A and B are shown apart, each in its own frame.
Chain A
Amino acid sequence: MAAQTLFEKIWNSHVVQQEAGQPALLFIDLHLIHEVTSPQAFEGLRTAGRKVRAIERTFATLDHNIPTTDRSLPITDPESARQLEAMRQNCRDFGVLLFDLGAREQGIVHIIGPELGLTQPGMTIVCGDSHTSTHGAFGALAFGVGTSEVEHVLATQCLWQARPKTLEIRVNGKLGAGVTAKDLILAIIGKIGTAGATGCAIEYRGPTIEAFSMEERMTVCNMSIEAGARAGMISPDRTTVEYLRGRPYVPKGAEFERMAERWLGLATDSGARFDRNVAIDAASIAPQVTWGTNPGMVVEVTSRVPDPQKYADPAEQRAAEQALAYMGLKPSTPITDIKIDRVFIGSCTNGRLSDLQAAAAMVGGRKVAPSVHAMVVPGSQQVKLDAEAAGLDKIFKAAGFEWRESGCSMCLGMNPDVLKPGERCASTSNRNFEGRQGKGGRTHLVSPAMAAAAAIEGHFVDVRNWR
């Protein structure tokens, strides 16, 4: 048989039905749901008298619209409370397992899927959330869908899908000290653009990716959508297998070994061809900081805010001018001169244990700058427990960071964790769109280490030569 990519192997093995020239009916192995994009889908099922086809493949949690403060207190926003209650009622009515507030499995949907071992190589995975691409780190085909498709999967466990193109992003060389998976993916988006991978399933490959931990791989795949990609994936290897061993939803003993062999066989065959190829040199990448209002507007920490006058394309020039006006930045300002008011460490991009460890390592015994309000929001209850067992909460609290309960929090600001108009935030999240973290708020996307160092100094610093 001809050499195949990981994507091709998964796609071909999930086609239930297809006629020539038509989209494929694709079987979905795992469906993750949350409170914000599912209520209208359940309502659709009710109206049509349909049920959830595969409750054993459907898992729900509450993450987007929940407070990260004391969980014993009632939810003060009545609209949020109603949405959470709707999720609970829908899960009861349709028999779906819900990891509710208070459950030790609760957390951001893209953190708990891998953590519980629900996410496995070779699967098709969907969720009503664009960062579903995160799960691709395990060698799964995982993509975000809208509410109509959530309803479709609930009812049929399938989706009609046009086959995306394949894009290889090969990362060669080694990242320098202080340069992280977050800097790599920001640099990739900066290079190919926010629509650079539209219509494509990316596979990240090469020695840099192979050397990454699963948590680093998840950070990279997570932001594939920020380059417009349909999905981001990485071929399964021993790192993948060892991460999954012993997780609650993977089998044990001989059955696990059998599955592991099958997973390893899913890796892209040598000689397999991609529709497009991009190469990146890891060694040339410095810590990244976004300056504008989309994740492609990014520069190295050692550089300056771009000058729109120097853009050749008038449309790009106008976009840069508008972005700088919104961000309250002057052209050519050194990045390290930008002062910040807030720091957010968390999200499905950078809310895992290793992210919090990287941030805590920068903090050491230092204090958050008096002018900065900083918070750490673990991605899940498990991350929170693990971090507390390692004493990270004490390091953060002693430095003046707030230590919160798990959820999406200020990544999208649906809960009370929002920026005030004009506030400037160093954030480990994934989107710096206008108003994303609060109306009028100004977001700079960075790695956890860069965010922690900025919290202490009150402005951006290059973590490679800081202190």
Chain B
Amino acid sequence: MKAFKKFTGLVAPLDKPNVDTDQIIPKQFLKAIVRSGLGAGLFYDWRSKPDNSDFVLNQPRFKGASVLVARANFGCGSSREHAVWALDDFGFKAVIAPSFADIFRNNSLKNGFLPIVLTAEQVDHIFKAVAREEGYSLHIDLSAQTVSDESGWSARFEIEPFQKKCLLEGLDEIALTLHHEKEIGAYEAKHPVPYPRA
């Protein structure tokens, strides 16, 4: 996994709750057998809808955004990791929302992509700041667990220490698990495969 480094990025506002993974990456892009190139499918149906030039990612002022801000329960629905791959490939490095669906959150953390939970009030503050100020950017620092802007506003977010360490160091989780080979082997020895031999 790539390591997560602190950065400052343009914020794109997606003012919707319950953004599901079917919207983030529609089904026709799930036929891929590689992880790369999925940015072309990001929010495809919304981006490609006729007369949808006002959709956030169709607006020139949000071109190059690397922070997405959305409302509660972002990433609900299907377990498709393609949703994270598409956001990442499009250029996003983090999503900020008041809450995330569990599987989307897990998938993000496996890809060096940061799901940041802030309170509904803090998220609202960001939406208002984006509306007010063209080019509004946020500085995201995982070590310090903070989101901040140039005006001095900042908010702290929580993340489990294990996940923080994995992200900061870009750890290969499988290699980490294989350090426990002895324990896994011992567990297997005590718990035989429950199926009759074919």
Contacts and interface: CB of A to CB of B under 8 A. Distances in A.
B20 A23 contact: no
A50 interface: yes
A29 B22 CA distance: 29
A275 interface: no
Interface in B176-198: 177-178, 180, 183-184, 187-188, 191, 193-196
Contacts of B27: 412-414, 436
A120 B195 CA distance: 10
Interface string A202-214: 0000000000000
Contacts of B110: 146, 148-149
Contacts of B84: 146
A160 B194 contact: no
B70 interface: no
A118 interface: yes
A194 B101 CA distance: 10
A162 B160 contact: yes
Contact of B183 (A16, A144, A148, A439): A16
Contact of B184 (A16, A43, A118, A436): A16
Nearest to A431: B77
Secondary structure at chain A's binding surface: helix, strand, loop or mixed? loop
B158 interface: no
A70 interface: no
A27 B184 contact: yes
Interface stretch (A122-130, A300-308, A336-344, A446-454): A122-130
Contact of A128 (B77, B79, B196): B79
A407 to B, nearest CB: 14
B88 interface: no
Given A40-B34, A249-B196, A156 B178 contact: yes
Contacts of A145: 79, 103, 106
A57 B174 contact: no
Contact of B72 (A21, A37, A79, A195): A195
Given A129-B79, A435-B23, A195 B184 contact: no
A37 B103 contact: no
A51 to B, nearest CB: 12
Contact of B31 (A48, A65, A129, A194): A65
B193 A56 contact: yes
A151 interface: yes
Contacts of A194: 18, 73, 76
Interface string B5-29: 0000000000011101011001110
Interface in B56-92: 71-73, 76-81, 84
B177 A156 contact: yes
B180 A22 contact: no
B150 interface: no
Contacts of B79: 37, 128-130, 144-146
B22 A435 contact: yes
A27 B189 CA distance: 12
A265 interface: no
A263 B34 CA distance: 41
A175 interface: no
B169 interface: no
Contacts of A147: 35, 81, 107
Given A83-B31, A198-B101, A252-B196, 4 more contacts: A17-B183, A56-B195, A198-B73, A294-B76
> 4 closest A-B pairs (Cβ-Cβ)?
A148-B110, A146-B81, A146-B107, A39-B33
Interface of A: 16-17, 21-23, 25, 27, 29, 36-37, 39-40, 43, 48, 50, 54, 56-57, 64-65, 77, 79-80, 82-83, 86, 118, 120, 123, 128-130, 144-149, 151-152, 155-158, 160, 162, 194-195, 198-199, 225, 228, 230, 249-252, 259, 294, 315, 319, 322, 412-414, 431, 433-436, 439
5 contacts: A25-B177, A54-B193, A148-B110, A259-B194, A436-B22
Interface of B: 16-18, 20, 22-23, 26-28, 30-35, 45, 71-73, 76-81, 84, 99, 101-103, 106-107, 110-111, 160-162, 172-174, 177-178, 180, 183-184, 187-188, 191, 193-196
